[in-house]
Structure 1
Amino acid sequence: MLDLILVILTVLSSFAVYYLGRRPPVRPPGPRGLPIVGNVLQMPRDYEWLRYAQWGVQYGVLQRVCPIVYLRLFTQNVYVLNSYHAAYEILDKHASRSADRPRAQLMVGELIGWNNGVAFSPGGPRHREYRKLLSSSLNTNAARRLSSLQQSSALELLRALLDSPQQLRDHIRASVGSNTVDIVFGEQISTPDFDYIALADDAHYKFALAAAPYRYAVDFFPPLKYVPYWFPGATFKRQARQWRAELEHLVVTPYNTVKERAARGVASPSYVANCINDSSADKLAVPKDHAIMWTAASLYTGGADTTIASILSLFLAMTLYPDVQRKGREEILSKIGTERLPTLDDKPSLPYIEAIVKELLRWNNIGPLGLPHRTTDTIVYQNYEIPPGSTVITNIWGMMHDENMYKDPFAFKPERFLGAAPEQDPTTIAFGFGRRVCPGLHLALQSLFINTALVLATMAIEPDGERPEVKFTSGAISQPEPFKCRVRSYSEAAKELILQE
């Protein structure tokens, strides 16, 4: 018995010496929190990136933005990255340790069900399977094969604007939505009882609300997920149950439609049909229904709303900056002429158009915070230690508007990416970091280039009355708030080109 007591005392003494002698981790600066709840009461409810950037300036030194701001939400460690260097060092160099998604975003992930999709899928075998499926359809070569579809979609938008330019926002949404459905499913999935684009728009609006980090109380205090649906005040549970049913209907129905057509040999070429055919051809393959249907839903989510937001930003920027619009048109006319419209093949000869695309990504990046990462192992940056299980938020908006990286960051200046000393390419920031980089970035850049080139080659854009105010929406996806502009064909020759094509 005495020996057992001595062993226990020895073990306890060893633990005491280890923990008492261990230097506590050095944490980055951040706002002082309260006991127990930490910084919960200081978390912004909307436009979170502005508050994070403000804290970056507040806790920075020598006119430099603080690269990391530390927050504590109950027992959750949260690290907000305000600098590109910090994001690169932490998320790119330690990609394998930071590829997971936080468990804390319970509302959008676990309760609504978006953790089945690509964006919120936990790191691991399933996520790797998703990325493998998507890479075959979204790599550079595969994306280029889809450029003709994107060209046709952009021309549809131009034709619609010739008829009713005052419905700009509706035309952009219809054009982009239709094009994305064609790419993903091969044809429009629409019946009197099921309109995919309308249902997807509604689901993505709700996704944007729920995906904002720590918007819901259950994200702060996970045990709330066990509250019954009928319990007073459990509105979020009833809301999540309804949104989950709508999401599953949106995901399963079009997949089953394409699968049935593929079985009959009448499915149009598409991402889903190609995946189904590849899976069927491999007799040893495990059925991939779940992976195919959820990557397809993620393709639409990641492709439609983000592209719509980018094209809206294009029209707003051209309304506000007529000199940029003029320079872009002059480059197209001088390099291509008036006998045809530009295509993706013209990209090498249109550097100013490409610079406009980059500035659109920087000026109002459509994913201001990206999506949070979760560390699975300790990561050390400078003298800061980020322990496993921490949430890492990338303040992409803050990086894009850091005066130490971009001069005059609130002005729209494509020239910043030209010349002998261009500023940081925003495509290395806008699409995320590490193993969570957006898999559709090549497709997105193609679409934005084609739309920008075709719009500037054919359309004149100007304010409708007063100069519009630059205002963008809050949420996981940010886009310009409604603004007024006049859109017309630049010339009769340009109009004829649109109609002929």
Structure 2
Amino acid sequence: MASLTGAAAVLLAFILAYSTALTIYRLFFHPLARFPGPRLAAATKWYEFYFDIIKSPGGQFFKELSRMHDVYGPIVRVNPDEIHVRDAAWFEVLYAPNPTKRNKYRPSAEMAGLTLGIHGTVDHDLHRRRRMAIAPMFNKQSILSAEHLIKQHIDELTDVFESYLGTNNPINLQTTFLAYTTDVLYHYMFDTDAGYQRDSGAAQQWRHSMDAVAQATPFLKQFPSLLSRVALIPLPMLIWVLKRIQPDVAGLLGTHQLMASIVSKYMASKPEEDQDELIATKAVKPRTLFHAIEASSLPPHEKAPTRLAQEGLTVLFAGGETGSRLLAHTVYHLLKNPEILEKVRKEILDAAGDSNQLPDMKALEALPWLTASVRESLRLRAATTSRLPLVTEKPLAYADWVIPPNTPVSMSHGDILHNEDIFPDPMKFMPSRWFNASPQQNRLFVPFGKGTRMCVGMNFAYCEIYMSLAVILARFDLELYDTRWERDVHYTRDCFLGEPDPASPGIRVKVVADHKTFTRS
């Protein structure tokens, strides 16, 4: 017993000595020691842990980060290893285009547990090759060629809205639009019928799974390698355990199983004679995301089933949630501004003329009020609330500061998109600001990011959003139901995407009338 007590004392003494030495190093001898910021944040990552995990309701470090800049200036050491900059003029320096080389900060890349997908790729050159491989799925020509596919799912979306007419029951827009965007992604990317819009129970469960991810994200930011370790557990066993302790997360792992099944079917049905078809995908839309990767110049190990599945999951998780949120928020803002809604509706109907047919994407993009409303909703939403750290192999200069090489450096989209010097009255929904936008406003409209890590799915997102908005806004009269900005729309937590109050029931509307516009022909 005495020996155990002695060993514990030695261990405790070692831990105290190590912690003291580490703190002294970080405060006085670390390459970032002279950069401004709170001393406690420089000494330990537990400072950030407190704001993201302990301080209610979680995910609060983004607010503390803003306070740091208010106190210490535009460049701040936010933790022992990372620098954050709040200066719109420097955004294009950090998030520079090719050939500027920027690696992703490994903990940030590992957080989602999908290190084989483009979002989880650390190395700049490997990211560029992986991105080029899937680019044929996201170019404008491919997307416009698939408008008919998106229209099929918009028909199902209108069926959902129509089913609520006269019921006095509200629609949860996030749940409904998530089912739509997910169905479109499965069909367009994987040639798979997910059927969420035809199964309200499955749609609701998928919404709960996404909410569970949001709840877990602040924790995963603090322990970014956790999911990679959990992935070592056999998936069936992991699902069995989670069904008993966290069923919403278990549902998410069911998506991993489904993606593995989709990849298996693709690999099994891939005949040798498809090579001519694969080569042709350079000119037309590939049949699936996996066909695009197969047709690329990536080496064979980059076309292995596990790699394909992780790329598929990356696209699915990145595209479904962001698109659905933008749709819900745009509808909210237009319903709160009925005079703008009427202008949007009128120009959609004018573009259709007497045809009662939805105008194509090119025509919709040319509509000034619709386009300005989407842009303004994107600006206000500033979807990614998390800072986005990159690492450069060379020193970076900011003002009189020289940031050492291999230092993670980050900025936040909200600091740009909600900057009152660039966008006056930044929290007001004002689509008209885009009719006479300055070059600076257009250049710093960065909801999809900028540079080599810019969102690859921008054109796809615009297409599914423009087309569905046009139909819903022209066909249905909606009214908000018990929806409040402070509780249901304005984000109060950083869960990678901004999240509202945990008590929020979501953005909800009632269907008041159906004008039968753009019905099936």
TM-score calculated relative to the size of structure 1: 0.75
Q: CA deviation at 1:80?
A: 2.0
Structure 1, residues 385-406: CA drift from partner, whole Å, max 9, x if none? Answer: 2222322232112221111111
CA distance in 2, matches of 1:196, 1:299: 20
1:40 aligns with 2:60: no
Gaps of 5+ in 1: 1-21, 61-65, 230-237
The aligned amino acid for 1:37 is: T
Contact 1:98–1:434 under 8 Å retained in 2: no
CA distance in 2, matches of 1:259, 1:324: 49
Aligned to 1:437: 454
CA distance in 2, matches of 1:331, 1:366: 27
The structure-2 alpha-carbon separation of the partners of 1:420 and 1:254, relative to structure 1 and needing over 3 Å to count, comes to closer
Contact 2:190–2:289 under 8 Å retained in 1: yes
1:70-81 equivalences under 5 Å are 70-73=77-80, 76=81, 78-81=82-85
Contact 2:136–2:292 under 8 Å retained in 1: no
Aligned to 2:263: 255
1:295 aligns with 2:311: yes
Contact 2:137–2:292 under 8 Å retained in 1: no
CA distance in 1, matches of 2:192, 2:142: 19
Aligned to 1:476: 496
Contact 2:334–2:340 under 8 Å retained in 1: yes
CA distance in 2, matches of 1:401, 1:211: 23
CA distance in 2, matches of 1:283, 1:467: 49
CA distance in 1, matches of 2:129, 2:317: 18
The structure-2 alpha-carbon separation of the partners of 1:388 and 1:206, relative to structure 1 and needing over 3 Å to count, comes to farther
CA distance in 1, matches of 2:472, 2:499: 19
CA distance in 1, matches of 2:352, 2:325: 28
Contact 1:461–1:488 under 8 Å retained in 2: yes
Gaps of 5+ in 2: 1-28, 53-58, 234-244, 278-284
* Aligned residues: CA RMSD: 4.2
CA distance in 1, matches of 2:150, 2:443: 22
The structure-2 alpha-carbon separation of the partners of 1:343 and 1:366, relative to structure 1 and needing over 3 Å to count, comes to same
Contact 1:189–1:254 under 8 Å retained in 2: no
Structure 1, residues 35-60: CA drift from partner, whole Å, max 9, x if none? Answer: 74277258631144333233333344
1:488 aligns with 2:512: yes
1:173 aligns with 2:169: no
CA distance in 2, matches of 1:242, 1:388: 41
CA distance in 1, matches of 2:436, 2:381: 23
Structure 1, residues 227-271: CA drift from partner, whole Å, max 9, x if none? Answer: x99xxxxxxxx99x9899767535422211233344499999732
The aligned amino acid for 1:407 is: P
Q: Which of 318, 325, 336 matches 2:341?
A: 325
Contact 1:355–1:414 under 8 Å retained in 2: yes
The aligned amino acid for 1:297 is: L
Q: Which of 77, 92, 102 matches 1:88?
A: 92
CA distance in 2, matches of 1:163, 1:277: 42
The structure-2 alpha-carbon separation of the partners of 1:478 and 1:451, relative to structure 1 and needing over 3 Å to count, comes to farther
Q: Which of 358, 361, 368 matches 1:351?
A: 368
Q: CA deviation at 1:305?
A: 0.9
The aligned amino acid for 2:164 is: S
CA distance in 2, matches of 1:449, 1:458: 14
Q: CA deviation at 1:431?
A: 1.2
Q: CA deviation at 1:317?
A: 1.2
The structure-2 alpha-carbon separation of the partners of 1:428 and 1:458, relative to structure 1 and needing over 3 Å to count, comes to same
Structure 1, residues 251-301: CA drift from partner, whole Å, max 9, x if none? Answer: 42221123334449999973245237637xx99966612443322221111
Q: CA deviation at 1:118?
A: 1.7
Q: CA deviation at 1:462?
A: 2.4
The structure-2 alpha-carbon separation of the partners of 1:58 and 1:456, relative to structure 1 and needing over 3 Å to count, comes to farther
The aligned amino acid for 2:184 is: N
Q: Which of 366, 371, 374 matches 2:383?
A: 366
Q: CA deviation at 1:25?
A: 7.2
TM-score calculated relative to the size of structure 2: 0.73
Q: CA deviation at 1:156?
A: 2.3
Structure 1, residues 177-205: CA drift from partner, whole Å, max 9, x if none? Answer: 111100111022589xxx99888767655
1:337-416 equivalences under 5 Å are 337=353, 339-340=355-356, 341-369=358-386, 371-416=388-433
1:50 aligns with 2:63: yes
Aligned to 1:451: 468
CA distance in 2, matches of 1:398, 1:478: 14
CA distance in 1, matches of 2:361, 2:42: 57
Contact 1:318–1:325 under 8 Å retained in 2: yes
CA distance in 1, matches of 2:374, 2:108: 34
- Which piece of structure 1 moves more, 408-417 or 80-89? 80-89
CA distance in 2, matches of 1:211, 1:115: 16
Determine helix, strand or coil for the equivalent of 1:362: helix
CA distance in 2, matches of 1:94, 1:287: 22
The structure-2 alpha-carbon separation of the partners of 1:52 and 1:306, relative to structure 1 and needing over 3 Å to count, comes to same
Aligned to 1:147: 147
CA distance in 2, matches of 1:72, 1:47: 15
CA distance in 2, matches of 1:274, 1:95: 28
Contact 1:312–1:479 under 8 Å retained in 2: no
Q: CA deviation at 1:446?
A: 1.9
- Identical aligned pairs, as a percentage? 19
- Which piece of structure 1 moves more, 176-185 or 146-155? 146-155
CA distance in 1, matches of 2:41, 2:499: 35
Aligned to 1:164: 164
Aligned to 2:13: none
Q: CA deviation at 1:452?
A: 2.5
Contact 2:137–2:289 under 8 Å retained in 1: no
Contact 1:200–1:250 under 8 Å retained in 2: no
The structure-2 alpha-carbon separation of the partners of 1:104 and 1:464, relative to structure 1 and needing over 3 Å to count, comes to closer
